[in-house]
Amino acid sequence: MMAKPLVVLAAGGTGGHVFPAEALAAELGNRGYRLALVTDRRGGNLKGRLAELETHRVRAGGIAGKGLVARIFSAVEIIIGTLQAWFLLRRLKPAVVVGFGGYASVPTMLAAAYSGTKAAIHEQNAVLGRANRLLASRVEKIATSFEKVLAIPETSKSNVITTGMPVRPQVTLVRDRTYPNLKAEDTINIAVFGGSQGAHIFSTVVPAALRLVDVNLRQRIAVTQQSRAEDVEQVQAAYRDLGVEATISTFFDDVPNRIADAHIVICRSGASTIAELTTIGRPAIFVPYIYAVDDHQTQNAHAVDEVGGGWLIPEGAFTDQVLADRLESLFAIPHMLESAGAAAKAAGKPDAASRLADMVIGMMPNTSDQREAA
């Protein structure tokens, strides 16, 4: 039996770029396709399916260096990396190369364009990232996580396919769990996830907001909260003083379960967070990270807010009083939260990895034969 074609994945950097690559690797691997990963020299600590792949490293440089020297250095790194990737692709002869944004993907995707190899990019956010903007006109397909994505060149819009943002298998496993009961005396579960960039503001504002809510409501609340290591003791003490049951940690290895248990989530609005919430179907209060490149987190949050799956509060307006008022109004009408969770779930694409794999396979010759074999 003839071996199936090779797909090269170009990914590296932050988790938002790596998670969808990992999900696509798992999906294509399960269908029998051969895979290889090209990343930059920093692309260590790969996990899951990516850690099992044949891995190649090329030079890469950021495309948004601020100083002249930084820009020159980055340009040289990209040129060297593109040459390395060009020779690599000539040797590997992949059927398709798929990039996942971030500067680590740029040399490989440029090499694919210059070598005439079929290529596609996946955009995780509701604003086309700077690396993907550079590549958009050079690829055959642009897969997006959101229906509306800003900054896509007009000439490339006909190449866009909305696949969604692939999520980890642990997330889809809890999608069928129904929204938790929320009757008059039920415990109210609030989950707070901020990551390294957002945990500090949540560590100060959320406990202060719960101090302001009606005492009868506060007595029913249980909090699961991610905090920075330096904030853990302070946050634990704040909830202890309020008599609020709280589980505080710098890291949770069962985030999907904790989201599924929550009546509401308070969080940033990175692409992976949005994908997990909409796959599981839980409402959220989004506080976009104000320093996100091109303010993409605000656009991500808008996409869910507009369909009724959550509420956006800009960081500048995220005060203890504003949050307290919002929580009191939401918990006064429990069915509103359940409806928002349903709206979030309706916006989710739990089959995003499969959709993305179908797009990649569709770019290959003899796709009908390959789909039958898959």
Token pair in block for residue 17? 């770029």
| Domain-located, residue 127 | yes
Say which CATH number the domain at 27 has. Answer: 3.40.50.2000
* pLDDT one-digit tens code per residue, 57-91: 999 987 665 688 888 888 999 999 999 999 999 99
pLDDT bucket at 136, cuts 50 / 70 / 90: very high
Q: What are the start-end ranges of the H helices in the chain?
A: 15-30, 68-92, 106-115, 130-135, 169-172, 195-212, 215-218, 232-242, 255-261, 271-280, 296-306, 320-331, 334-347, 352-362, 367-373
Residues 279 and 363 in one domain: no
Residues 318 and 244 placed together within one structural domain of the fold: yes
Q: How many domains does the chain have?
A: 2
Residues 343, 354, single domain; the answer is no
Q: Which structural domain range is residue 193 located in?
A: 172-347
- 140 and 25 part of one domain: yes
Q: Do residues 240 and 308 both lie within one domain? A: yes
Q: Are residues 154 and 261 in the same domain?
A: no
Q: Nearest-CA neighbor of 77 among 116, 128, 114, 42?
A: 42
Asked whether residue 71 falls in the same domain as residue 179, the answer is no
Least Cα distance to 59 among 84, 30, 36, 33 occurs for 84
Distance between CA atoms of residues 110 and 73, nearest Å: 18
Domain-embedded: residue 130: yes
User: Which tokens in the block code for residue 111?
Assistant: 């090499």
Calculated CA dihedral for residues 14, 16, 22, 28, nearest 10 degrees: -140
Let me know if residue 331 belongs to a domain: yes
Does the residue 1 lie in any domain?
no
**Whole-prediction pTM value?**
0.92
> In 3D, which of 25, 32, 33 has the Cα closest to residue 5?
33
- Contact indicator for 288, 313 with CB cutoff of 8 Å: no
Question: Is pLDDT of 196 > 60?
Answer: no
DSSP 327: H
Judge whether 176 lies within some domain: yes
Helices 334-347 and 271-280 cross at an angle (nearest 10°) of 110
pLDDT above 60: residue 373: no
Please check whether residues 184 and 306 belong to one and the same domain: yes
Residue 211 and residue 198 share a domain: yes
Residues 226 and 162 in one domain: no
Q: What is the pLDDT of residues 267-277, one digit of tens each?
A: 999 999 999 99
Q: Are residues 282 and 139 in the same domain?
A: no
Q: Is residue 112 part of a domain?
A: yes
Same domain, 296 and 361: no
